[in-house]
Amino acid sequence: MDLSFTNEEVAFKSEVREFIENNLPADVKDRYSRGIHFTKEGQERWQKILNSKGWLAPNWPGEYGGTGWTATQKYIFAQEMGRASAPPPMPFGVSMVGPVIYTFGNQEQKDYYLPRILQSEDWWCQGYSEPGSGSDLASLKTKAVRDGDDYIVNGQKIWTSHAQHANLIFCLVRTDQDVKAQEGISFLLIDMDSPGITLKPIIGLDTEHTLNEVFFDDVRVPVKNRIGEENKGWTYAKFLLGNERTSIARIAQSKLRCEHLREVASAERVDGGLLQDDADFMRKLNQIEVDLMALEYTELRMLSKIEHGETLTAEPSLLKIKGSEIQQRLTELLVESLGMYGAAYEALEVREGRNDQNFAPDYAHGPMAEHLYLRAATIYGGSNEIQRNIISKMVLGL
């Protein structure tokens, strides 16, 4: 047992820190540190910078463009990204469909799609949830019927984040109605420009457009766009969800939020003093910091297991539950720190369109947007209740 970093790891940390400091565009950093949504152009610009360094997809195997880093190096990289308010790459390509393609796809699919993800040529979105299939994902009804070399797809997906920017969607579709729900699902890669696909925005609590409905009306999808075998899609889907969970704990980013909260508390005035002298407020922050530390060392303990060749079972679910709860508590406290300015809120476009900004401190712009958006953190990626079901079954055997 040893907590220290090797000299090489310390050097690596400096290298990462320096690279991000010198290359992260200021506008990208500002949006991300406030917790407001990215622009497609800014996100793409940053992803291309990361990729030019070869750092876009550290988790991928070296042969497909990964970095070949150890688990500790990956941890250091994630910490440094979080510390610098550098947004991670869009997860749908790099963390979700990419690993499915290099694990279960054929050579042609690997050769075509993987480089395009690395070069940010494709924007992916995730076609999982349906109006009747949320937590019970396997009950999905979107249907794909074989017709020669094509599937004809009919149905609807919902809660599809950032689909308006995407040119590709990976989709779970039903290819067999007559078997157990999990055994009749296939995994298709579908061009968003295909005739028969329509998109309808869903305006979220933050009055922003991140979510969408995607409708499929007799959409023709070449059979060669199927990943792996027909009716084995559930296996690939679960593999993807496992990867998704580990990436949504966002520990480094939450650490930065804690620091930011301390800064706000040292600026906000209350009862002739400062918010940082309010014991009740600071106690909440300290409790979150302790919880975050416990989560961080739990993640490190898991990484150590992986480096020793152990396979994780439901541990990622723990990271997802605790990580998302902490994110919510942090943004809630951030809103609380603003006093009545917590109530001031307009969608970004409306706010930026004004010539007459209010007189609130600059840091008051952002927390409510994030507070609203992050209510989804305990719902997406499998709700926290579903995560508890997973731990209950896989670890406790209940």
Partner 1 sequence: MDFELSEEQVLLKDSIDRFVKDNYSSEDRIKLSQTDLGFSRDHWKTMAELGWLGMAFSEEVGGFGGGAVETMIMMESMGRGLVLEPFVSTVLLGGALIAEAGNEAQIEAIIPELIEGNLMLSFGYAEAQSRFNLNDVETTASKSGDGYVLNGTKAVVYHGGTADKIVISARTSGASRDADGISLFVVDTDAAGVDIRSYATVDGQRAADVRLENVTVPTTALLGAEGKAGPVIEKIIDRATGALCAEAVGAMTAANEITNEYIKTRKQFGTAIGKFQVLQHRMVDMYMEAEQSKSMSDMVAMKLDLGYEDDTRKAVSAAKAQVGKAAKFVGQQSIQLHGGMGMTDEYSIGHYFKRLTTIEMLFGNTDFHLNRFSNLS
Q: Which residues bind partner 1 (CB under 8 A)?
A: 1-5, 9, 72, 75, 282-283, 286-287, 289-291, 293-295, 297-298, 300-301, 303-305, 307-308, 318, 321-322, 385, 388-389, 391-392, 395-398
CA angle 46, 363, 201 (to 5 degrees): 60
Location of structure tokens 């005035």: 269
Minimum distance from residue 389 beta carbon to partner 1 (Å): 7
Q: Let me know if 320 is exposed, middle or buried by CB neighbors in 10 A (0-12, 13-18, 19+).
A: buried
- Per-residue three-class SS string for 101-112: HHHHCCHHHHHH
Closest to 172 measured CA to CA, from 108, 126, 217, 214: 126
Minimum distance from residue 321 beta carbon to partner 1 (Å): 7
Closer of 167 and 286 to partner 1 (Cβ): 286
Minimum distance from residue 53 beta carbon to partner 1 (Å): 24
**Structural tokens at position 91:** 């997860």
Q: Rounded to whole angstroms, how far apart are CA atoms 159 and 6? A: 44
Closest to 290 measured CA to CA, from 268, 316, 250, 322: 322
Backbone angles phi, psi at 169, to 5 degrees: -135, 135
Closer of 200 and 301 to partner 1 (Cβ): 301
Q: Rounded to whole angstroms, how far apart are CA atoms 261 and 227? A: 45
CA 7, chain centre distance (Å)? 31
Q: How far is CA 368 from CA 37, 243, 343, 351, in A?
A: 12, 29, 8, 13
Is the torsion defined by CA of 20, 26, 27, 29 positive or negative? positive
Q: How far is CA 286 from CA 218, 262, 298, 363, in A?
A: 55, 10, 18, 21
Q: Rounded to whole angstroms, how far apart are CA atoms 248 and 243? A: 9
Backbone angles phi, psi at 229, to 5 degrees: -90, 155
Closer of 98 and 381 to partner 1 (Cβ): 381
Minimum distance from residue 88 beta carbon to partner 1 (Å): 21
Closer of 224 and 283 to partner 1 (Cβ): 283
Minimum distance from residue 328 beta carbon to partner 1 (Å): 16
Q: Let me know if 349 is exposed, middle or buried by CB neighbors in 10 A (0-12, 13-18, 19+).
A: exposed
Closer of 340 and 396 to partner 1 (Cβ): 396
Closer of 1 and 343 to partner 1 (Cβ): 1
**Structural tokens at position 150:** 């094509």
Looking at the DSSP bridge assignments, the partners of residue 197 are 216
Closer of 154 and 304 to partner 1 (Cβ): 304
Minimum distance from residue 392 beta carbon to partner 1 (Å): 4
Minimum distance from residue 55 beta carbon to partner 1 (Å): 20
Minimum distance from residue 339 beta carbon to partner 1 (Å): 22
Could you tell me if 127 and 190 are in contact, meaning their C-beta atoms sit under 8 angstroms apart? Answer: yes
Closer of 9 and 176 to partner 1 (Cβ): 9
Residue 202, classed as helix, strand or coil, is strand
Minimum distance from residue 270 beta carbon to partner 1 (Å): 17
Closer of 198 and 287 to partner 1 (Cβ): 287
Minimum distance from residue 390 beta carbon to partner 1 (Å): 9
Closer of 351 and 388 to partner 1 (Cβ): 388
**Structural tokens at position 71:** 């688990």
